[in-house]
Chains A and B, each alone.
Chain A
Amino acid sequence: QQQVKQSPQSLIVQKGGISIINCAYENTAFDYFPWYQQFPGKGPALLIAIRPDVSEKKEGRFTISFNKSAKQFSLHIMDSQPGDSATYFCAASKFTSGSRLTFGEGTQLTVNP
């Protein structure tokens, strides 16, 4: 019930293309869904986050799409750049979990020039 399933495990995209990473959850109590970006040798950094009261949130080239009925959410990176090459983790949390984030397994994105 606490799992967040993330796919794909790895993704290769050409520069200028769209990168799409998907996550699915089971626990309907989750009400906050952040995405973290991690570069090699660095800690994760919050990229963008969404609450389930909206179906989409966009920040620059990054968009989260949220489907509450399907219990799925996804990250879209438009006009992908080589500098976007990193590992992306989706996560979920709920009010009663306090500070606990339930992370997906991660997606290693490579954007070829």
Chain B
Amino acid sequence: DTEVTQTPKHLVMGMTNKKSLKCEQHMGHRAMYWYKQKAKKPPELMFVYSYEKLSINESVPSRFSPECPNSSLLNLHLHALQPEDSALYLCASSQVGTHTDTQYFGPGTRLTVL
């Protein structure tokens, strides 16, 4: 099973709302990632967790708060977002080994901030 699942598929929120995106994998991967992807652009790395600890934060604004409760789950908590944060948010996972380990992506959550 090489599936990464993400919920919800679509999310519409106002700028004052608090919401969370969820990601789950059961491949035994100990590295999990959040990416942001704008239309017709490549994915942009936001956060990386390795063994449930935050290892990379690509200077993401604090209105995005990641959480890795266990080795299979990854959350992204959203608060006070801006309309320009509207995008496809992708979760990915991989083995923790070398930089050549394949990253498996989920289908993404399409986020619209009004």
A93/B41 in contact, CB under 8 A:
no
A99/B105 in contact, CB under 8 A:
no
Q: Is B42 an interface residue (CB 8 A)?
A: yes
Q: Give CA–CA (A89, B43) in the complex, Å.
A: 9
A43/B33 in contact, CB under 8 A:
no
B21 to chain A, nearest CB (A): 13
Q: Give CA–CA (A45, B104) in the complex, Å.
A: 7
Contact residues in B for A42 (Cβ distance below 8 Å): 107-108
B40/A43 in contact, CB under 8 A:
no
Q: Is B31 an interface residue (CB 8 A)?
A: yes
How many chain B residues touch A (Cβ–Cβ < 8 Å)? 26
B107/A106 in contact, CB under 8 A:
no
Give the contacting residue for A43; candidates B48, B50, B98, B107; CB below 8 A: B107
Q: Give CA–CA (A101, B92) in the complex, Å.
A: 12
Q: Give CA–CA (A109, B5) in the complex, Å.
A: 26
B100/A98 in contact, CB under 8 A:
no
Q: Give CA–CA (A89, B4) in the complex, Å.
A: 20
Contact residues in A for B42 (Cβ distance below 8 Å): 89, 91, 103-106
A44 to chain B, nearest CB (A): 5
B residues in contact (CB < 8 Å) with A: 4, 31, 33, 40-43, 45, 48, 50, 55-56, 90, 92, 94, 98-108
23 contacts between A and B (CB under 8 A): A34-B102, A42-B108, A43-B107, A43-B108, A44-B43, A45-B105, A46-B102, A46-B104, A49-B102, A87-B40, A89-B43, A91-B42, A94-B99, A97-B99, A98-B48, A99-B99, A99-B101, A99-B103, A100-B45, A101-B45, A103-B42, A104-B42, A106-B40
